[in-house]
Amino acid sequence: MRQLLEELKKDDKLTISTIGFSIQNDYDEVENKITKEKERQNVGYKVKNQIQVKSSQLEKGEEVIQTAIENGFNTVDFVQYSPDDEQIQKAKKDLINKAVKNAQKNAQLISKGLQYNVHSIKSSSIESQSIRGQKMTVNVRVEFNMKQE
C-alpha cells in the first residue's frame, strides 16, 4: 500500500484519501491430531485498506488502475466517472442561459405575429434536479410583458 500511495502522490492532479480500513482474523482449517476433526485455527490477520482517488481528468482513471495492479493490488472495484461540483454548476448555468435565450427568441417570434414587442420579464423560475453521476434536469420558466407596437 505504501508503495502505491507514493506512486500516486507523484501526480499532483490526483486527490487521494482513505475511505475505509478494517482488520479481521484470518483462519485456516487444520486437522486436530487427537480427534482428527477439522478445526479453525487463527493464522494471522487480514487488513483491508480502501482508498479513493479523484481526478478531474478522465484519462487518469486508466493510469491509476494500472499503477494499482503494478503495485500488487488484485482488487480494483467501484470505478465511477462523474463530474465534480464545479462542472455540474457550470453545466447548470449554461443550460439556464440557453433556455432563457430560447424563451426570449420564441417570445419575440410569437409577439411579432401579434404585432407586439417583448417589453420586459414578468417573472422567472428555475427548478433543477440532479442525481450525482446521472442526468440533470433544469426547468426554466420565463414570462414576458408585451406591449403593442
For 106-116, write each residue's pLDDT tens digit.
888 888 888 88
Question: 100: exposed, middle or buried (C-beta count within 10 Å: 0-12, 13-18, 19+)?
Answer: middle
DSSP string, 70-100: HTT------------HHHHHHHHHHHHHHHH
Model confidence pLDDT, tens digit, residues 47-57: 888 888 888 78
* pLDDT range class, residue 142, cuts 50, 70, 90: confident
Q: Where are the domains of the chain?
A: 2-70, 85-148
Q: What three-state secondary structure class fits 115?
A: coil
Three cell numbers at 75?
Answer: 482488487
What does the pLDDT look like over 34-85, one tens digit per residue? 999 999 999 999 988 888 888 878 788 888 888 888 888 877 777 777 777 7
pLDDT tens profile 8-42 = 888 888 888 989 999 999 999 999 889 999 999 99
Query: Beta 38-55 vs 116-130: how paired, if at all?
Result: unpaired
**The pLDDT of residue 140 is above 90:** no
d(CA 30, CA 36): 9
pLDDT of residue 38: 93
**What is the pLDDT, as a whole number, of residue 24?**
96
Write down the pLDDT at residue 6. Answer: 86
Distance of CA 84 to the CA centre of its chain: 6
Residue with cell 503494478: 70
- Nearest to 50, CA basis, from 73, 66, 71: 73
Structure confidence at residue 134 (pLDDT): 66
